[in-house]
Structures are given as C-alpha cells and as structure tokens.
Chains A and B, each alone.
Chain A
Amino acid sequence: MTQSLLHQILDYANRADPYPLYEELRKTPVHHDEGGPYVIGTYYEIRSLLHDPRISSDASNLASTAGDPLAESSQGDSALPPSFLRLDPPEHDRLRRMTNRPFGPPHSPHRVDGMRPELHEIVTGLIDGIGDTDRIDLVEAVSYPFPVTVICRLLGVPREDEARFHSWADTIAASLDPDPDADPAERGKVAHDARMQLGMYLAGLIEERRKNPGDDMLSELATAKGPDGAMTTMELLSTAALLLIAGHETTVNLVTNGMLTLLRHPDVLRRLRAEPRLAVPLVEELLRYEPPVQLVPQRTTLADIEVHGVTIPKGASLWLVLASGNRDPKRFENPDRFDPDRRDNQHLGLGSGIHSCFGAPLARLEAQTALAELARRLENPRLLEDPPPYRQNAVLRGPRHLPIACDGIRP
C-alpha cells in the first residue's frame, strides 16, 4: 500500500498539491520502501535529525546510491569540488565561515540591509517593464529576473555581463528541473557547456577581482585576509556556483509561490497593500506553508540510528521532507491554514542546524520587497490558471509560469 507513496510524491501529476501525500507520509514515522531512501515527514523528527551529528551531508558516506531516485540529478557539479552544502565539519565550517565574512554579521552586518534600496529599485524597474497587463507571466516578468539580478550585484558581476550570466544561470537551473519531454543526453550536454562557460567566466572575474577588488562579495572572498586565510580558486568557484544556484533558484519559487498564495487569499493581499510591514510575518508563513525547498535528500547516516523505534542503518540515504514537517499538526495548529498572523512560527522552510539556509536574510528581504511592491502596484490582480503549470522538480518546487492579469499598474 505504501509502496508507491514516494513515487507519488515525485510524480509530476501531484506537483500542484503534494500536501495530501505528505499527510499520508506523516502516518509512518520512518517511511522506507525496500531499497529506497528512509523518508521522514514529521516536524520534531526532522528537526532533531537536522541537529544530529550522526547525520552527514557528505555523499561519500553513502553506502550506495542505488535506490535513490534523485542520486544522479543531484551530482551535477562533478567538475568542481563539493561546495560546503555537501561537506561536513570541519571543512564545512571553515568554508561557510569564510563565505559568511563578507556576507553577514559579525564582520559584515550591513551587507544585506544595505541592499534594500537596490532591491527596491530592481523590483520597481521590473514592474515598470511589465507592459501588457491582460496576460502577465509573473515568473518571467518579475520572480525570475529579480533574484538573478540581485545575485549578480551581490557577487559583483558587471552590469554589461549580466545578460550572459542570466543565460548560463537559466540553462543550469533548467537542468536541475528535468523536463520529461527533452532528450536527456542533449540537455546534459547543454548544461555541462553552460557550467563550463560560467566556470570560466567566474574564474576570469575572480582573477580580475584579485587585481582590482571592489566592495562586492567576490572581491572580498578573493582577497580574504581572515584568520582562515584565503580560499583556493577551486573552492572559490564552488562557493560562487553554490551562491548563484542556491541563491536564485529558491527565491524564484518563494516569490512565485507567494504571489500564488496571495491571489488565492485575496483578503491577505488587500491587507498587505494597506500595511506593507505585513510582508515580514507573511514571508515567514509562506516559508512554512509553501517552502521552495520541499525536501532535503542529501543526508546519510554515519551510524545505525533509531528514530521512533525504527533503526536506520549506517550509510542509508535519508530524506527529510521539510514541507511535510511544516504541516505537521503536532507542531502547528491548523497547519493547512495560511495565516500570516501565526505566532511561534518556527518552520523548517530554511532548514535548521549547521546547513540552515546561508542566504536566508537575503531571501527574506527579496521576497518581502517583491511581494509588498506587487501587492501595492498591481491593480485588481487575478489568476488566469489555477493551479498554474509547475516545474518538474519535486525538491525545488514552484510554478514554471504564473499567468495572471490585472487592470493596470499603479505608479
């Protein structure tokens, strides 16, 4: 009976609404089909596993990737050493710490907040450029270009190179979102080429920044003089690629899911228009209710560990379904209700533990800015398709397009 649950979750047919399947998943504390990964969907268990030092993010600790339906698609970066996302301490800690120096407190407390005016200006520009309001694809018009532009500015990609950068990022992102109709070999080659070109471009940029540093993150990473010394060029490339991919593929979905949710809850949309500060708790609730990262498939056990009476053997593949934990009625009252006034909202949308989302402060600010501006400026917005067409990807879940219409754009 439960044999097919995991396949149902991965099945594209259920992409628009996986939540009933998650409810099913939560009935078993540890879901395991013969030969498949061990899947956890309940809040408290996920939370404690995210803090469990017997759980590794390093793929080399996997006994075997057989039976893991996501194993191949997650190994795209083979040309580069693993980024800190796929490393354990102490290497993880060192690289994350070094990356954090130019990004957040204590050494760079104002980096993200200082981008506020720029974020606002980028969103304004994108909304100004919408044009025909009878049919807007919100993904194409705003939620996709916004984070890519932001990550370019953060890393210090020159404006004139942004377009090339966008197109590589586009291609690589598309490869993370397999299209069942495309020829996999062809797609693989295209993605590989894009990755190579992006890598070469970044390597050039890093060289350039070493000679003429600016106040962007890449310059600071390339010239770092902290107690940990400097990253090697390869480490720097992996890190930059991680920031690029993780930094925009998720925010696209956060903004798109956000607008979709708001259009399904017009009362909340009206409130947001009247009080833009609602954007702050609203984005937290979105991260709980429709998190862009639905599950973390990249964990393995370093020892036999017991979860709720079930022993998960050493070397097993472990999937933590964050989106399911976020709807666990044992943790959240009325979990299927979208409630921006929710208190004690300690969701799993950004993970927890040492791998908790590195870019969280930026992602939050991006989503708050974009949603508040969209709510303010779009006149009488409405959904043209509900549900909209989704991306293939079950891990980074979100609409591929979000067709909406409105009566006009307020100044």
Chain B
Amino acid sequence: MNGDGSLEWLRREGRIVVVGASLAGLRAAETLREKGFAGSLTLIGDEPHAPYDRPPLSKQVLLGMTTADRTALPRRRDVDATWRLGVPATGLDMAARRVRLADGDEVPYDRLLIATGVRARPWPHEREAELDGVFVLRTRDDCAALARRLAEGPKRVFVIGAGFTGSEIASACRERGLPVTVAERGASPLVGALGGVVGAVAADLQQEHGVDLRCGVMVTALEGDATGRVRAAHLSDGATVETDVVVVSLGATRNTEWLAGSGLGAGPRGIACDAGCRAFDIRGIVTDDIYVAGDVARSPHPLFGYQFLSLEHWGNAVCQAEIAAHNMLSASADRLPHMWVPAFWSSQFGVNIKSVGVPSMGTEIVVSQGSLDSHRFVGVYGYQGRVIGAVSFDHARWLPFYQELIETTAPFPPPFHMVDRRPDGHRPLDADFPDPSVPTHGPTVTLSGYSPADRRMRFTPAR
C-alpha cells in the first residue's frame, strides 16, 4: 500500500502517455489495462499506421507471400486509448511533465513510457540516397515500396550490408529468382553478431544460393543515370556493379533526437534506464515517472556483468514493455527487474537461425552439436571460461538447454557428451569477432558502457 495513496490515484485516474506506437508501445498499453489501469492512455506514433509487425517485412512480404499492409499486430485486448498517429513527438518538458508534438500540441502525463525504437540508418551521401531505386527497409512503407520494385523484376538487386536484415533481403530476392550482389565491409555476413566462424557458414549459404557476395569491401559511391535512377554501385576494390535496385542495410539509429535538451539521459546509443525500465536523467539520477522499453532502451543486465545492453529483439521489446507497464503501476517493493535473456531468430536461405545470450560477447566458440559443413549445428560461445551465448542453424529445439547453461554461468567449453556431438566439437576456436574499434555497421547487440567489474569505459564508434 502506497503511503500517500498516489499510486491508487494514478491507477484510477492518472494520465499515461506512450511515445512510440509499435510493438513495445502496444504491448505496454495492453499490459497497463490488463493490470487494471483505468485512467487516460495516449499513444503517440510518427507513422500513420496502427502498430504492425516488422519481422515479416524482410521475409514474407518481400517473397510476395503477403503484403505490407497485412502485418498489423494482433491485439491481446482493447486498450481504450487516444491514438495520435502520424504525429512525431518533438520534445519533452520533464519539469512540467508534457510531451510536445510536431503539430504544436502538448500532451500532459503523470507517467511516460518512451518506446520510440530505431530507424534505418540511411545512405550517408544524401544526393545518392535520393536516387530512384535506392531503398532502406525498416517501416511498412519502406517495405511496400521495395516489394513493388522487386515485383517489377529488376535486373539486379544490390544490398549494402550483410547483417541480418541485409542477408534476409538477399535471401528473399534469390528465392524470387532475382540476381543479387551483397557488399559487406566485414570478412563475412553476420560477422558482427555471430563472429567469423559462423559468418563463414553464412557466406557459404549465400554463395550456394547464387548470391554474388563481396566481403571486405566498402561501397564508395552510388551512381545514377540522367533520369535520376540508380544504375551502378562503385566499390572500394575498384569494381563497379550495374544495378537498378539498391537496398541500404547498414543497421539502425536510435530515435532519441527529440529528447535533446530535455535533461533525460538520451543519446545516440539509446536511453539509459535501470533494470526496472526507469529512465536516467543526464545527471545519472533515476526518474520515477519516465520509463523506457524496446529498441531505444539501454539497460544493465546482471547475467552479462551488468553491462548496459541495447537489444533490437522482438522478444525483448515485448518483455521490457510488460515490465515497464507493471512497474509504472507498482510500489517500489513490487517492481520487477527486466532479466530477459537475449534471443533472436532469422530465416534465410532456407535455414532457421536462432540465438540466445550474447554471442558477440564471446571470444571462443565450440560446435557442440552437428557440424558447420552440414549447415546444421549449435555453436556455443565462451567468455572468460563461461558459456555466454549460443547460436543454432536448423537446430533450434535444443536452445532452451543452452539458455539454461548461460543462465547458470556454466563452464565453457561444455564438458559432457551430447547427442550429435562430433569429435571435432570439443575443440574451441577463436570466435573471430571484428575488432570493435574498427567501424562496421555494427552487431545487432551492442555492448557498451559501465560495468561494476571493470570501470573503464570504452567508446565504440557508432558506425
């Protein structure tokens, strides 16, 4: 029972504002109602669409199995909210507890949840980025435009960046029979997230499926024709690839600019918050009325040395939104920590890829089940003698076991016999992650910031 009764008042007639009307925003709103919040609820989103699901955009939609407008997120319950869609938030007045909108309106709140997520990092050369035929893939509209162009049967699709999204795009194009070139700055696809050992398997997969894969190169320029349509890409190794569609897949930028000057601890790497999703201000003081969830949040995880993790994962957005919503309505002793174990999946070139933990923190890898050659395996990542992550290629049903190993800080390499463990699967290899000080478009999981065990801060350039 809250001493001053303010919590009771909040639940009954408070005003909660959620900025960001995507997965995390929607699930938070639903959870608030589920937990009995009866006050007013406002959801603010910069896109004009009701919340939709992103994973299908780079898969089913590009394959033509469904359309971008059929990806609306299923609703768990009625949220009875005021929706302000198509209107970006532009500012925050923490003292007055108001969110400013692009249309000049101001929305007052008693509790605020920030779930503004990330946006695609655009091609840095503005004029080239504006060429007809140059796309990014993050939103529903991006996807609809790209899907339309693919349906027209381009001569060649050129993908810049072989992270998960870039690789999925390449996969969809190959499945549709379109010629694809992929240019990757690193030594192999997925190298930032999974390291070079697994990256080599990903490279194999791409080549087997007819992708013209170019690794260790940068794109120096995109060239347009007289009508302003893209016609070629120039590479740092001197090569030129003729193409009529370019997809820029260089990772994401966190949507925090609107908070500049607000006093909230928000920056290019996200918004720092505590394990209960409460945002920090720039003085390092935790707020009591501002919460963060989803891709834009950066929170300490006890399993990974309390490092602040930013996770662009579907499951993380859902879990963090639920925790934030719960904590918003709870007295301090009833609050819950966000202890979700990172997990993500991808589907490309007919292979189901799943990961748990934080592979990119690993320095060594051991193939504990299956084999790299068969493209069906589980790779376990080790960090300072413990299991820190695992990835499976078409072997996902074993992953809960590896999650348990991570959760219990089991020793690395796992010493026991297992089904499908091959003789060479006992020898750890260097996981071969790129040097973090060398700029790449970055892993899906960004590790950064302060750790109680190691007080040095290491700056990892944003790109």
Contact = CB atoms under 8 A, between A and B. Distances in A.
Interface of A: 47-48, 51-56, 58, 88-90, 93, 302-305, 314, 353-354, 356
Contacts of B400: 47-48, 51
9 contacts: A47-B400, A52-B401, A53-B401, A56-B419, A58-B419, A89-B419, A93-B420, A314-B417, A356-B397
B397 A354 contact: yes
Interface string B357-393: 0000000000011100010101000000000000000
A51 B376 contact: no
Interface residues of B, number: 19
A89 B420 CA distance: 5
B416 A354 contact: no
B397 A302 contact: no
Contact of B416 (A47, A58, A303, A356): A303
Interface of B: 368-370, 374, 376, 378, 395, 397-401, 404, 416-421
Contacts of A54: 416-419
A90 B397 contact: no
Contact of A90 (B370, B417, B418): B370
B418 A302 contact: yes
Contacts of B378: 53
Contacts of A354: 397-398
A90 B420 contact: yes
User: Max chain A CB contacts within 10 Å: which of B369, B374, B398, B399?
Assistant: B398
Q: Identify the 5 closest CB pairs spanning chains A and B, nearest first.
A: A53-B418, A303-B416, A89-B420, A88-B419, A51-B400
B417 A51 contact: no
B401 A90 contact: no
A51 B402 CA distance: 9
Nearest to B421: A53
B398 A353 contact: yes
Contact of A89 (B370, B399, B417): B370
Contacts of B395: 89
Contact of A303 (B369, B374, B417): B417
Given A90-B370, A302-B417, A353-B397, 5 more contacts: A53-B378, A54-B416, A89-B395, A90-B420, A303-B418
A88 B416 contact: no
Q: Which one of B397, B400, B419 has the greatest number of beta carbons of chain A within 10 Å?
A: B419
Contacts of A52: 401
Nearest to A56: B419
A53 B376 contact: no
B35 to A, nearest CB: 15
Nearest to B347: A106
A51 B399 CA distance: 7
A130 B418 CA distance: 52
